[in-house]
């Protein structure tokens, strides 16, 4: 084992390694610093050189170097090429300069071969190992993913099959892929049957176009989920209401893939909702829509923006229903309402008109489209005919009728509430016209007049306490000597906004409301006070004040006391007070007023019949009454005009009346005397006194006082 003469050069080995390292670095990833690489390669260079120079050559060292290169990840094929080439070209010169052995070329060749062999074996082993490792890793990863998927799938399966809600999966063509048992049970199919179904079979015309459109948008990927209440039909045809949520499952790249439906059976809740809604909007007795639903519909119609749309309402009320309830009992009354409701519905609901019960025995028909003027009237007449058929309830045969108030107008003419108020008013008109089974149609002008009257009637009591009434006096003059014998007291209402109102504008209202008693008493007292003053000032004038007495006052048991009190307060002698009663007030009543009249007459008060000739006087009866004067009604005097052939007739009538009155011992006053000619004729016929424009219009008390003063002056 003697060493050869040539020594290994350390610096030469480093030089060799540096060149080697550079060659490698250009070709491959070196996971070390340059220093590390060079140190490593220097060791390899020394090793190779020592083996080459050894007494006994072995290629083992070169084989190790080849293997070590691979282990250091210096695996790039070019690395091997350079390494092999460098052994032959530079190793001896660089690391063992001067080495000279006879078999040196053979040793170099064997070194090269061993290095390449070691490199190749190591690279092959490493490649096998890495390939195996990466393959195993791939399979492990796949297993892991699959295990995760299986776990996930198992969890999903548990949810899917155990869920109380129905879950179903369908592809984009609508074919059901799978459903859980809950879904199948809800619809009454087996899961196998469900899997044969296409989703489109589960759609229905009643679903409305929205549902199908939502589904289309879902499968086209325009939306990800849909939630709605949807009706299904079970296999047996029964109805199932569900709360349905459908979600879209997409592919990884976003394309739609499946739909998942989750359904909950809400049939009971839905039915309850429907029932509650029906109850809220229908009358429990008759099953007809109630006023809430009616107003809902009416409002809908009224909100139609079309300006020329007309709407009609027929407000119907049974005639005399209270009597049926009172005499036959509420049970029969209710049954009658049920029959009437059914008939109304049959008669007009078929034509598309809504019939509703407003309450009690009131029904209302909404004529949503009045295409021509008479439509609403036709509907009302149909309703009246339907009601008029006899109704049999138990043993009773009832003859029923109704009255109808009709309003039809443009939808733009006011609010629904105004329309209903008008209908109510019109129904009242229909009723007020008397008969049964009548209809009336709304008349805006009449309504306006009535509204004014109503307002006046309402204001009357306050007006009386606020002293808004005044009394004017119209002279009544003797036709014989032309002197003023009496004045008629006439009440006026000094209305704060409407001005001076004449009696015909409010006396009727006062009579209707009963205020006439207080108003009449007030006029009586005021007149007595004024007349008392005249009497005190002008006792010789003997001026009579004539006051109207309403029928109601006349029938008041205390009228005699009231009159006596007024006379006392005014300081007026009874013979200077004349009370005017209308024919009807005197005649229509039997004993009591007549007794009162006698008692009044007994106090010395004069009594007159106003507007004589316009009523139906019982002439025989007239004779028994304690009457002093007849006031001829205006129309008789109006008829007495010159050149009018009819005036001859009027004159004869007046002549006859005057004779009659005189025959009964009554004096006669002519009203509405307007001309001298009339005065002359009336005088010729023997009429006692006259009243009218010719003698003076109604005037304030001061005016009368003035007239009385003027008359006294010539004498005084």
Q: Does 144 bind other proteins (CB under 8 A)?
A: yes
What six digits make up the tokens of 576? Answer: 């200077």
Q: Does 134 bind other proteins (CB under 8 A)?
A: yes
Query: Which one of 58, 137, 300, 603 is in contact with other proteins (CB under 8 A)?
Result: 137
What single DSSP character describes residue 600? H
Nearest distance, CB of residue 26 and other proteins, angstroms = 9
Q: Does 624 bind other proteins (CB under 8 A)?
A: no
Nearest distance, CB of residue 148 and other proteins, angstroms = 5
Q: Does 28 bind other proteins (CB under 8 A)?
A: yes
Q: Does 504 bind other proteins (CB under 8 A)?
A: no
Q: Does 646 bind other proteins (CB under 8 A)?
A: no
What six digits make up the tokens of 600? Answer: 């009044």
Count of residues that bind other proteins according to CB under 8 A: 32
Q: Which is nearer to other proteins, 76 or 171 (CB)?
A: 76
Query: Which one of 15, 19, 22, 39 is in contact with other proteins (CB under 8 A)?
Result: 22
Under DSSP, is residue 609 helix (H, G, I), strand (E, B) or coil?
strand
Nearest distance, CB of residue 22 and other proteins, angstroms = 7
Q: Does 148 bind other proteins (CB under 8 A)?
A: yes
Cβ atoms of 17 and 74 within 8 Å: the answer is: no
Q: Which is nearer to other proteins, 130 or 190 (CB)?
A: 130
Q: Which is nearer to other proteins, 79 or 286 (CB)?
A: 79
Query: Which one of 252, 253, 467, 504 is in contact with other proteins (CB under 8 A)?
Result: 252
How far are the Cα atoms of 100, 163, 617 from residue 522, in angstroms, in the given order?
Answer: 166, 89, 29
Q: Does 159 bind other proteins (CB under 8 A)?
A: no
Q: Which is nearer to other proteins, 74 or 246 (CB)?
A: 74
Nearest distance, CB of residue 90 and other proteins, angstroms = 19
**How far apart (Å, rounded) are the C-alpha atoms in residues 249 and 332?**
64
Cβ atoms of 37 and 79 within 8 Å: the answer is: no
Q: Does 224 bind other proteins (CB under 8 A)?
A: no
The length of the chain, given as a count of residues? 716
Q: Does 76 bind other proteins (CB under 8 A)?
A: yes
Stretch of 47-55, 69-77, 341-349, 377-385 lying at the interface with other proteins (CB under 8 A): 69-77
Cβ atoms of 545 and 490 within 8 Å: the answer is: no
How far are the Cα atoms of 151, 159, 220, 252, 257 from residue 156, in angstroms, in the given order?
Answer: 8, 5, 26, 19, 18
What six digits make up the tokens of 100? Answer: 């000279």
Please count the CA atoms within 13 angstroms of the CA of 388 that sit on its side-chain side.
11
Residue 238, Ramachandran bin (φ over 0: left; ψ between -120 and 50: alpha; else beta): beta
Q: Which is nearer to other proteins, 254 or 434 (CB)?
A: 254
Q: Which is nearer to other proteins, 45 or 52 (CB)?
A: 45
Q: Does 349 bind other proteins (CB under 8 A)?
A: no
Q: Which is nearer to other proteins, 34 or 274 (CB)?
A: 34
Query: Which one of 75, 286, 521, 548 is in contact with other proteins (CB under 8 A)?
Result: 75
Q: Which is nearer to other proteins, 76 or 674 (CB)?
A: 76
- Which residues are CB-neighbours of 38 under 8 A, at least 6 positions away? 14, 17, 18, 21
Nearest distance, CB of residue 18 and other proteins, angstroms = 9
Stretch of 91-99, 134-142, 332-340, 649-657 lying at the interface with other proteins (CB under 8 A): 134-142
Nearest distance, CB of residue 144 and other proteins, angstroms = 7
Nearest distance, CB of residue 27 and other proteins, angstroms = 9
Nearest distance, CB of residue 142 and other proteins, angstroms = 4
Stretch of 127-135, 233-241, 463-471, 490-498 lying at the interface with other proteins (CB under 8 A): 127-135
Q: Does 141 bind other proteins (CB under 8 A)?
A: yes
**How far apart (Å, rounded) are the C-alpha atoms in residues 262 and 338?**
45
Greatest alpha-carbon pair distance for the chain in Å reads 197
Query: Which one of 133, 227, 275, 595 is in contact with other proteins (CB under 8 A)?
Result: 133
Q: How many CB atoms lie within 10 A of CB 377?
A: 18
Q: Which is nearer to other proteins, 148 or 700 (CB)?
A: 148
Nearest distance, CB of residue 49 and other proteins, angstroms = 23
**How far apart (Å, rounded) are the C-alpha atoms in residues 516 and 25?**
131
How far are the Cα atoms of 286, 382, 389, 435, 505 from residue 320, in angstroms, in the given order?
Answer: 19, 20, 16, 11, 32
Q: Does 101 bind other proteins (CB under 8 A)?
A: no
Nearest distance, CB of residue 34 and other proteins, angstroms = 4
Cβ atoms of 571 and 610 within 8 Å: the answer is: no
Q: Please, which residues bridge with residue 355 across strands?
A: 365
DSSP, residue by residue, 503-569: GGGTHHHHHHHTTHHHHHHHHHHHHHHHHHHHHHH-GGG--EEEEE--HHHHT-TTHHHHHHHHHHH
Query: Which one of 29, 278, 392, 621 is in contact with other proteins (CB under 8 A)?
Result: 29
Stretch of 18-26, 41-49, 670-678, 706-714 lying at the interface with other proteins (CB under 8 A): 18-26
Q: Does 260 bind other proteins (CB under 8 A)?
A: no
What six digits make up the tokens of 177? Answer: 């892929």
DSSP, residue by residue, 14-25: HHHHHHHHHHHH
Query: Which one of 145, 177, 432, 455 is in contact with other proteins (CB under 8 A)?
Result: 145
Q: Which is nearer to other proteins, 131 or 399 (CB)?
A: 131
Q: Which is nearer to other proteins, 126 or 297 (CB)?
A: 126
What single DSSP character describes residue 203? -
List of E strands, 568-613: 577-582, 606-612
Instruction: Give the pairing of strands 577-582 and 544-548.
Output: parallel
Stretch of 143-151, 274-282, 599-607, 660-668 lying at the interface with other proteins (CB under 8 A): 143-151
Query: Which one of 89, 140, 304, 433 is in contact with other proteins (CB under 8 A)?
Result: 140
Q: What is the CA radius of gyration of the chain?
A: 62
Q: Does 136 bind other proteins (CB under 8 A)?
A: yes
- Which residues are CB-neighbours of 565 under 8 A, at least 6 positions away? 525
Nearest residue to 365 (alpha-carbon basis) of 328, 407, 336, 396 = 407
Query: Which one of 3, 31, 432, 571 is in contact with other proteins (CB under 8 A)?
Result: 31
Under DSSP, is residue 479 helix (H, G, I), strand (E, B) or coil?
coil
Cβ atoms of 358 and 304 within 8 Å: the answer is: no
Query: Which one of 73, 264, 517, 647 is in contact with other proteins (CB under 8 A)?
Result: 73
What six digits make up the tokens of 650? Answer: 């009027």
What six digits make up the tokens of 323? Answer: 């009597």
Query: Which one of 142, 235, 250, 466 is in contact with other proteins (CB under 8 A)?
Result: 142
Which residues here bind other proteins, judged by CB under 8 A?
21-22, 25, 28-35, 73, 75-76, 126-127, 130-131, 133-134, 136-138, 140-142, 144-145, 148-149, 152, 252
């Amino acid at each position: 084992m003697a060493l050869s003469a040539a020594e290994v050069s350390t610096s030469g080995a480093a030089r060799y390694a540096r060149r080697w390292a550079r060659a490698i670095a250009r070709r491959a990833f070196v996971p070390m610093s340059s220093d590390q690489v060079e140190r490593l390669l220097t060791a390899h260079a020394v090793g190779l050189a020592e083996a080459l120079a050894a007494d006994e050559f072995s290629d083992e060292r070169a084989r190790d170097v080849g293997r070590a290169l691979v282990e250091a990840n210096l695996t790039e094929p070019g690395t091997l090429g350079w390494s092999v080439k460098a052994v032959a070209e530079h190793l001896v010169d660089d690391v063992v300069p001067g080495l000279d052995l006879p078999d040196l070329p053979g040793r170099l060749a064997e070194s090269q071969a061993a290095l390449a062999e070691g490199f190749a074996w190591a690279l092959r082993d490493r490649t096998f190992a890495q390939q195996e490792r990466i393959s195993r890793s791939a399979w492990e990863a796949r297993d892991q993913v699959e295990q995760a998927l299986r776990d996930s799938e198992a969890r999903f399966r548990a949810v899917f099959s155990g869920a109380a809600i129905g879950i179903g999966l369908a592809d984009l063509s609508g074919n059901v892929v799978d459903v859980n048992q809950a879904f199948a049970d809800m619809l009454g199919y087996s899961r196998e049957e469900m899997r044969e179904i296409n989703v489109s079979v589960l759609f229905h015309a009643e679903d409305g176009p929205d549902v199908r459109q939502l589904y289309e948008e879902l499968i086209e990927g325009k939306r990800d989920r849909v939630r709605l209440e949807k009706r299904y039909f079970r296999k047996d045809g029964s109805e199932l209401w569900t709360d349905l949520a459908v979600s879209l499952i997409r592919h990884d790249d976003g394309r739609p893939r499946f739909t998942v439906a989750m359904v909950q059976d809400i049939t009971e809740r839905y039915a309850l909702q429907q029932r509650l809604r029906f109850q809220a909007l229908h009358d429990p007795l008759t099953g007809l829509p109630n006023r809430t639903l009616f107003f809902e519909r009416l409002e809908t119609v009224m909100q139609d923006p079309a300006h020329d749309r007309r709407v009609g309402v027929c407000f119907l009320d049974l005639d005399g229903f209270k009597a049926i309830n009172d005499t036959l009992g509420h049970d029969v009354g209710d049954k009658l309402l049920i029959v009437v409701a059914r008939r109304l519905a049959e008669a007009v609901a078929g034509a598309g008109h809504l019939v509703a019960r407003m309450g009690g025995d009131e029904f209302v028909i909404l004529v949503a489209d009045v295409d021509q003027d008479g439509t609403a009237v036709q509907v009302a007449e149909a309703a009246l005919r339907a009601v008029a058929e006899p109704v049999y309830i138990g043993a009773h045969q009832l003859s029923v009728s109704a009255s109808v108030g009709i309003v039809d107008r443009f939808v733009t003419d006011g609010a629904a509430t105004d329309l209903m108020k008008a209908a109510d008013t019109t129904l009242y008109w229909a009723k007020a016209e008397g008969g049964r089974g009548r209809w009336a149609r709304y008349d805006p002008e009449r309504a306006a007049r009535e509204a004014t009257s109503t307002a006046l009637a309402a204001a009357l009591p306050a007006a009386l306490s606020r002293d808004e009434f005044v009394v004017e006096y119209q002279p009544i003059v003797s036709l014989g000597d032309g002197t003023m014998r009496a004045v008629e007291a006439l009440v006026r209402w000094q209305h704060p906004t409407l001005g001076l109102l004449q009696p015909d504008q409010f006396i009727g209202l006062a009579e209707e409301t009963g205020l006439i008693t207080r108003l009449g008493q007030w006029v009586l007292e005021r007149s007595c006070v004024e007349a008392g003053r005249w009497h005190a000032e002008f006792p010789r004038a003997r001026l009579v004040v004539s006051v109207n007495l309403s029928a109601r006052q006349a029938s008041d048991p205390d009228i005699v006391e009231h009159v006596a009190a007024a006379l006392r307060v005014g300081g007026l002698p009874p013979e200077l007070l004349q009370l005017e009663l209308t024919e009807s007030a005197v005649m229509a009543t039997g004993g009591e007023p007549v007794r009162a009249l006698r008692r009044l007459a007994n106090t010395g008060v004069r009594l007159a019949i106003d507007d004589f000739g316009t009523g139906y006087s019982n002439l025989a009866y007239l004779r028994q009454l304690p009457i002093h004067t007849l006031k001829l009604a205006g129309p008789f005097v109006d008829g007495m005009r010159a050149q009018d052939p009819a005036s001859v007739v009027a004159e004869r009538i007046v002549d006859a009346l005057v004779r009659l009155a005189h025959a009964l011992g009554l004096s006669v006053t002519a009203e509405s005397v307007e001309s001298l000619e009339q005065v002359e004729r009336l005088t010729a016929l023997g009429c006692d006194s006259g009243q009218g424009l010719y003698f003076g219009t109604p005037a304030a008390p001061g005016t009368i006082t003035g007239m009385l003063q003027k008359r006294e002056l010539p004498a005084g």
